[in-house]
Structure 1
Amino acid sequence: MGWAMIGKIRVCLITPPSPFLTNGRAFMSLGILRVAAALEQAGHVVDHLDLSGVENYLDVMEAYLNQSEVSVYGITATTPQMPSAAALGWMIDWHKPDARIILGGAHVTAVNAAQKKGGAIDNIRRLFSLFDVLVAGDGERAVLVAIEDDSPPIVDADNPASPLFLSPGEMSILPDPARHLVDVSSYDYEIDGERALSIVSQQGCPYGCGFCSGRVSPCHRRVRARSIWSTAREILQLKDRYGVRGFMFYDDELNLNNDRLEGLMGALWGHDLLLRGFV
């Protein structure tokens, strides 16, 4: 696997703010923290700028750029976060014109899926005017390609035939999200008055709802579930480490497989937990 062969580098990963939310620090962004964990596992050094809920986020970005020698930056973004992501990209390029700026996340994944079907060509061109490399789909392996000097302009991990597209087995053995890179205590989501953290036990939804931009993206359509053991282990470790009893499942639909759901609830039975999820 070529992505394990490059030398150690320092990467700055950035979570842009979500000003459209009433509380920008309810749920931490787990996707970019999973990417961070994959980079660390491969021997790289990761800085993470968590700008969720930060109103003066450009000031924070500029302060970092003025004191950092980092030359590789990765930004995640949903579509509503794109104005903030674009502003961050412009600032990085202004201060460090030789830096490599990578965009990943839900927005670029949806745009890439649309352009494969003949649409969104202008959207792709616009993204390339702002960013050097686009990562579509699963970022955990793809980022190790995107940080290489000879990376293609689009690293497409939204193709089930690609080795970058994660299998359920791989999802079960990947390192947990690098929550040590964020101030976990600054997030304040609660379930029935109890402090809670978010977790993802499976990805994907098989349905084709017309309002959903993910319906044409394989990584959003194909259901891939972690093992019950992997999910339960992470939850119980988080309970011990952070002293929380509440957990919000950010699965697209937690009850897609009722047998799996019953098995997971059985594995967590008796641990005094408060659980919530989308069904």
Structure 2
Amino acid sequence: MRVLLINPPYPVVESLTMPLGLLYLAARLEQGGHEVLLEDLQLSRSPLTRLQRTLRRFQPGLAGVTSFSLNLPMAARILQKIKSNLPGALTVWGGPHASFDDLNILRQYPAVDGVVRGEGEETLLEVADRVERGGSFHGVRGISWRGQDGRLFRNPPRPFREELDGLPRPAWHLLKLSQYRAFGDGASVMTSRGCPHRCVFCVGRKMIGAKGRFRSPAAVVDEMEALHRLGFRRIRIEDDLFTFRRDRALAICREMDRRGLTIRWRAYSRVDTVDAELLRWMKKTGCERLLYGAESGSTEILKKIRKGITPDQTRRAVEMTREAGIGVLASFVLGLPGETPQTLRETVDFARSLRVPYTLNLLTPYVGTEVREKAGEWGIR
């Protein structure tokens, strides 16, 4: 069956990254025998016009869109466009916002037939198989859906996939890779899934699970080498926490070094998961920047949001990282629960004192986060 996967554009584009989640979905669907077309509408000046042409040419039986809260309105317009042009096509929505607001999405947007919740590789493949056979979605774990009579169903969640090396390699052949190379922001790689931390403003733990699930170092570096052969000279490691397990991060670096792979790479880390030896190995194998979620310069705020770190730990990690020759980007959030003019000043002063690039982001209570669920209790409007 023909399946169309769509990455909707954002209102503001700061960088151009591969739609890695859709690439994994596409690869799994192809592995299951389906024909897949992937449209990354980030790259289009007239996304709806381009979509119209694609629908006319490809005529999919199943169409799926992913989105975050920021590009939710555009995703809704895309699904409406699909349904108005191809009423017989089944439409599904995925991504964090839809996953944690699934029934409201189905009530609010009649053009949506189903919501794929959480990790979607196995769920979407099962959905595609059912659509091809003309069956219902009863028994498909991980989907919320609308029956023919309009009733809404929320099937039980799908367990997380434990073994990641069994996933097919992302379907890069469905993208025009020259566009991503030209932008210079690098190719995206996933080495692990899962985050054990409980930050109140993040849905990562709920979306991908608290337990770490890891690809083997050899498989990770195989993929990096393949991307290098395709002309990429920079890698973006998209894990929520690359340094989740020190020994494994070190093993990936050593495998890169053993093979003599010369490539620049970036990753997300935490200030309490790095040390001087690990940072030296990361620098040796091409790490050019780490992003640390420092969040606040106030010890009390950090406790309130259950970040599990202190400003002193942030300062030490930033200094070690700079000494290793790796760039740092420190990320802070303003307006966290308990924030006052004094704690705001502490955060700004602390950020400046680190002597590295930093970002100040206003708190956004995303759907699915504890900070949204307790907004009234915490005085957040």
TM-score relative to the length of structure 1: 0.82
Deviations 1:118-141 (A, max 9, x none): xxx5455325x3310111111111
The structure with higher relative contact order (CA 8 Å, sep 6+) is 1
Deviations 1:172-195 (A, max 9, x none): 1211110110111101454xxxx6
Deviation at 1:165, TM superposition (A): 2.5
Deviations 1:150-172 (A, max 9, x none): 12498417xxx9665211x2x11
**Which residue of 107, 120, 141 maps to 1:139?**
120
RMSD: 2.3
Change (3 A) 1:255 1:184: same
Cα distance in 2 for residues equivalent to 1:153 and 1:74: 20
> Which runs of 5 or more structure 1 residues have no equivalent in the other structure?
1-8, 113-120
The 5-angstrom pairing of residues 1-279 of structure 1 reads: 9-23=1-15, 26-112=16-102, 122-123=104-105, 125-127=107-109, 129-147=110-128, 148-149=130-131, 150-152=136-138, 155-156=141-142, 165-167=160-162, 169=163, 171-187=164-180, 188-190=182-184, 196-215=186-205, 217=206, 219-240=208-229, 242-269=230-257, 270-279=260-269
Change (3 A) 1:154 1:106: farther
Cα distance in 1 for residues equivalent to 2:76 and 2:176: 25
Q: What secondary structure is seen at the aligned counterpart in 2 of 1:205? A: coil
Q: Which residue of 2 aligns with 1:118?
A: none
Change (3 A) 1:154 1:122: farther
Aligned length: 250
Q: What secondary structure is seen at the aligned counterpart in 2 of 1:52? A: helix
Amino acid at match of 1:36: A
Cα distance in 1 for residues equivalent to 2:139 and 2:54: 26
Q: CA contact under 8 A between 1:196 and 1:244: conserved in structure 2?
A: yes
Cα distance in 1 for residues equivalent to 2:4 and 2:105: 25
Q: What secondary structure is seen at the aligned counterpart in 1 of 2:43? A: coil
Q: What secondary structure is seen at the aligned counterpart in 1 of 2:117? A: strand
Q: CA contact under 8 A between 1:17 and 1:51: conserved in structure 2?
A: yes
Change (3 A) 1:203 1:58: same
Q: Which stretches of structure 1, 4 residues or longer, exceed 3 Å deviation after superposition? A: 121-124, 152-155, 161-164
Cα distance in 2 for residues equivalent to 1:94 and 1:262: 51
Deviation at 1:257, TM superposition (A): 0.5
Deviations 1:10-30 (A, max 9, x none): 11111111222234xx21110
Amino acid at match of 2:108: R
Larger Cα-atom Rg: 2
Deviations 1:187-234 (A, max 9, x none): 1454xxxx631111111211111111334x252433211111211111
TM-score relative to the length of structure 2: 0.61
Change (3 A) 1:76 1:122: closer
Amino acid at match of 1:271: L
